[in-house]
Structure 1
Amino acid sequence: MIQIEDLHKSYHMGNNSLHVLKGINFNVKEGELVSIMGSSGSGKSTLLNILGMLDEADQGSYTLDGVAIKNLNEKIAAGYRNKFLGFVFQSFNLINYKSALDNVAMPLYYQGSKRKERSQKAMHYLEKVGLAEWSHHLPNELSGGQKQRVAIARAMASEPKVLLADEPTGALDTTTSYEVMELIQQINDEGKTILIVTHEDDIAHMTKRIVNLKDGVIIDDKLVNQVKANANV
């Protein structure tokens, strides 16, 4: 599903250059649930931005579902993001003046779906995350956990190949974090490929594989015995 070969990325600030990614080799098969860990400055956010087509590597190759991701203009990159990727963020990134239903339907608008189809599909995914009864509530009427569930439903609505989650439990308390991870595990069990950036060891062990970054290189990449989130809820 994802093939990364010899990925390098540097940022230039005046006369200085910061080499953030230093030859990353990384493959993810369809249906995997992978966590990416590393301290601040390790390169995990840069890697996620490249995977999400929000940034481009200086050197190396990135292939997603058989498509080489290289030299894309913003219009093509946006189209690929909408087709291939669903995003879940720590800060939820919901539109405050739109209902849960309208937030979930938003990616479908950009895919050109008709209004009725958008609403039906959005409601289907809200039901999937257990929030059908909250469909007409605004984000400020929802708890943190409910907001993240809406964000996950929105990410799923466009039926992406891969879900990218950037610290999806970072703004949540422990109990709510585990509830969100239980939902992510369920989605993965249905076959969805998911990558999670996290700094929380307990959350990482709820995935099936942990990749550790340090100073721009992968120092460890191992399969783990997955801890089921509902055992902790």
Structure 2
Amino acid sequence: MIEIKNLHKSYHMGKNSLHVLKGINFSVSEGEMVSIMGSSGSGKSTLLNILGILDEADEGTYTLDGTLIKDLNEKVAARYRNKFLGFIFQSFNLINYKSALDNVAMPLYYQGVKRNIRTEKAMHYLEKVGLADWASHLPSELSGGQKQRVAIARALASDPKVLLADEPTGALDSKTSYEVMELIQGINDEGKTILIVTHEDDIAHMTKRIVNLKDGIIIDDSKVNQVRAKTEAYV
């Protein structure tokens, strides 16, 4: 599903250059659930931006579902993001003046899906994350955990090949974090490929493989015994 070979990325600041990724080789098979860990400055955010087609490497290749991601203009990059990827962010990134239903339907709007079909699909995914009764509510009327579940529903709405989650539990308390991870594990159990950037060891061990970055290189890439997130029923 994802194949990265000899990936390098540097940022130029005046006369100085910061070499952030230093020859990354990394692959993810369809249906895997992988966490990417590393301290600040390790390169994990840069790697996620490249995986998310938000930035491009200086050297090396990135192939996503058999498609080489290279030299894309913004219009094509946006189309590929919408086709291949679903994003889950720490800060939820919901539109404050739109209802939960309209937030979930947003990727389908950009795909040109008709309104009645958008609404039907968005409600389906809200039901999937346990929030059908909250469809008409604004983000300001939702708890942190509910906002993240809306964000997960939005990420799923366009049926992406890969879910990219950037610190999806970073703004949540432990109980709510485990609820969100239980939901994400269930989505992976259905066959969705998921990558999670996290600095939390317990969250990383809820995936099936942990990739550790340090100073722009992968220092460890290991399969782990997945810890299942067990929580109380949603309230």
Fold conserved between structures, TM > 0.5:
yes
Q: Look up the equivalent residue of 2:157 and give its one-letter code.
A: A
In 2, Cα distance between equivalents of 1:209 and 1:131: 30
Which digits, 9 at most, give the CA deviation of each residue in 1:34-63, with x for residues without a partner? Answer: 000000000000000000000000000000
Return the offset for 1:23: 0.2
What's the TM-score, normalizing by structure 2? 0.98
**AA of the residue aligned to 2:189:** D
Counterpart residue number, 1:42 = 42
Is contact 2:149-2:180 (8 Å) kept? yes
Aligned with 2:230: secondary structure?
Answer: helix
Deviation of 1:232 after TM superposition, in Å, equals 8.9
1:141 aligns with 2:141: yes
Partner of 2:25: 25
Per-residue deviation, 1:8:
0.1
Q: Could you say which residue in structure 1 is the equivalent of 2:75?
A: 75
Q: Please list every run of 5 or more consecutive structure 2 residues that lacks an aligned counterpart in the other structure.
A: none
- Same amino acid, percent of matched pairs: 84
Pairwise CA distance, 1:105: 0.1
Cα RMSD between the aligned structures?
0.9
> Post-superposition, which runs of at least 4 consecutive aligned residues in structure 1 deviate over 2 A?
none
Once the two structures are superposed, what CA deviation does each residue of 1:81-136 show, in whole Å capped at 9, x if it has no partner? 00000000000000000000000000000000000000000000000000000000
Residue 112 of structure 1: aligned partner = 112
Secondary structure in 2 aligned to 1:229? coil
How far apart, in 1, do the equivalents of 2:86 and 2:224 lie? 24
Q: Which residue of 1 aligns with 2:56?
A: 56
Partner of 1:89: 89
Output the CA distance in 2 between the equivalents of 1:67 and 1:101: 32
2:98 partner amino acid: K
Is residue 178–residue 232 contact of structure 1 (8 Å, CA) maintained in 2?
Answer: no
Unaligned segments of structure 1, at least 5 residues = none
TM-score normalised by the chain length of structure 1: 0.99
Given the superposition, is the C-alpha separation of residues 209 and 232 from structure 1 closer, same or farther in structure 2, using an over 3 Å criterion? farther
Query: Residues of 1 paired with 2:130 and 2:197: CA distance?
Result: 24
What are the residue-to-residue correspondences of 1:176-187 with 2, within 5 Å? 176-187=176-187
Counterparts in 2 of 1:141 and 1:232: CA distance versus 1, 3 Å: closer
Q: Is the 8 A contact 1:212 1:218 kept in 2?
A: yes
Contact 2:9–2:21, Cα closer than 8 Å, also in 1: yes
Indicate yes or no: 2:191 matched with 1:191.
yes
2 CA distance for matches of 1:156 and 1:231?
22
> How many pairs are equivalent?
233
Match of 1:6 in 2: 6
d(CA) in 1 for partners of 2:136, 2:144: 16
Establish whether residue 227 from structure 1 lines up as the match of residue 231 from structure 2.
Answer: no
